[in-house]
């Protein structure tokens, strides 16, 4: 079984098909990492590209994301069950005032697929919640996402809150989301910027010195 059909089911927003095909893929012996990186993530990337070209609209993006989540729900226990020690720990979330979570979820999925233990705080996350989560989990990486230009400066608030809690030296902060750039990341004092979920994994590994 190749993973093309699953990819197509995500793009079409076919939740039932996604669950069925994920099951078939698992039964066929594909690793959860492979299903994630070769079907789910590229499918959402395609949906994002189609959106940018006005080939699909918001409802299609949401339906595709929902279908992808169904698959992910089936992969998650397998991804975490492997019993291997996590390569690193991360806390991720979308800044306060911003409800967009599709890209952030992809980042979380990819990090988990690469062996990170991820605490996902969801969207509309206040700076204090990031601080509390770092304290609770001892996370090495904080990933902050935003899709709105109006909430971009919320990233600065997260960095400031970590500083005030004396945690800034202990964690590496990476930022991302459509309006974020390397220049913006430098401006707010983040340690890294990632333009996609795949680069988020590269950056996280670089920050922890993992090859």
CB of 24 to ligand B12, least distance (A): 25
Binding pattern for the stretch 178-197 against ligand B12, x by CB under 6 A and - elsewhere: xx--------------x-xx
Q: Which one of the spans 10-18, 29-37, 47-55, 125-133 is the region binding ligand B12 (CB under 6 A)?
A: 47-55
CB of 163 to ligand B12, least distance (A): 18
Contacting residue, 43, 75, 121, 200, with ligand B12 by CB under 6 A: 200
Q: Describe the strand order of the beta sheet including 192-193 as a list of residue ranges.
A: 116-120, 88-94, 141-145, 172-176, 192-193
First to last CA, the chain: 31
CA distances 91 to 13, 35, 88, 148, Å, are 28, 23, 10, 20
CB of 147 to ligand B12, least distance (A): 4
Region 84-123 residues binding ligand B12, contact defined as CB under 6 A = 97-104, 106-107
- Is residue 64 packed enough to be buried (19+ CB in 10 Å), middle (13-18) or exposed (0-12)? buried
CB of 20 to ligand B12, least distance (A): 24
Specify the residue, 22 or 105, whose C-beta has the smaller distance to ligand B12: 105
Q: Which one of the spans 5-13, 27-35, 51-59, 66-74 is the region binding ligand B12 (CB under 6 A)?
A: 51-59
CB of 120 to ligand B12, least distance (A): 11
Specify the residue, 32 or 93, whose C-beta has the smaller distance to ligand B12: 93
Q: 123-127 — which CB contacts under 8 Å span 24+ positions? A: 123/93, 123/94, 123/98, 123/99, 124/94, 124/95, 124/96, 124/97, 124/98, 124/99, 125/93, 125/94, 125/95, 125/96, 126/96, 127/96, 127/154, 127/157, 127/158, 127/160, 127/161, 127/162
Residue 174's DSSP bridge partners are 143, 192
156 binds ligand B12 (CB under 6 A): no
Specify the residue, 17 or 177, whose C-beta has the smaller distance to ligand B12: 177
Contacts with ligand B12 by CB under 6 A lie at 44, 48, 51-52, 58, 61-62, 97-104, 106-107, 143-145, 147-150, 174-179, 194, 196-197, 200
């Amino acid at each position: 079984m190749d993973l093309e059909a699953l990819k197509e089911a995500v793009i079409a927003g076919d939740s039932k098909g996604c669950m069925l095909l994920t099951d078939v893929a698992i039964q066929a012996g594909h690793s959860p990492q492979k299903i994630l990186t070769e079907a789910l993530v590229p499918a959402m990337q395609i949906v994002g590209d189609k959106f940018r070209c006005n080939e699909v609209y918001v409802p299609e993006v949401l339906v595709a994301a929902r279908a992808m989540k169904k698959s992910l729900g089936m992969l998650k226990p397998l991804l975490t069950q492997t019993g291997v020690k996590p390569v690193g720990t991360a806390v991720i979330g979308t800044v306060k005032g911003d409800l967009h979570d599709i890209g952030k979820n992809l980042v979380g999925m990819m990090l988990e697929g690469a062996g990170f233990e991820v605490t996902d705080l969801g969207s509309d996350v206040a700076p204090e919640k990031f601080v509390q989560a770092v304290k609770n989990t001892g996370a090495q990486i904080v990933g902050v996402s935003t899709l709105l230009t109006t909430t971009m400066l919320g990233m600065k608030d997260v960095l400031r809150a970590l500083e005030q809690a004396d945690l800034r030296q202990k964690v590496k902060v990476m930022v991302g989301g459509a309006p974020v750039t390397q220049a913006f990341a430098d401006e707010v004092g983040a340690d890294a910027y990632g333009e996609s979920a795949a680069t988020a994994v590269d950056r996280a590994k670089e920050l922890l010195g993992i090859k």
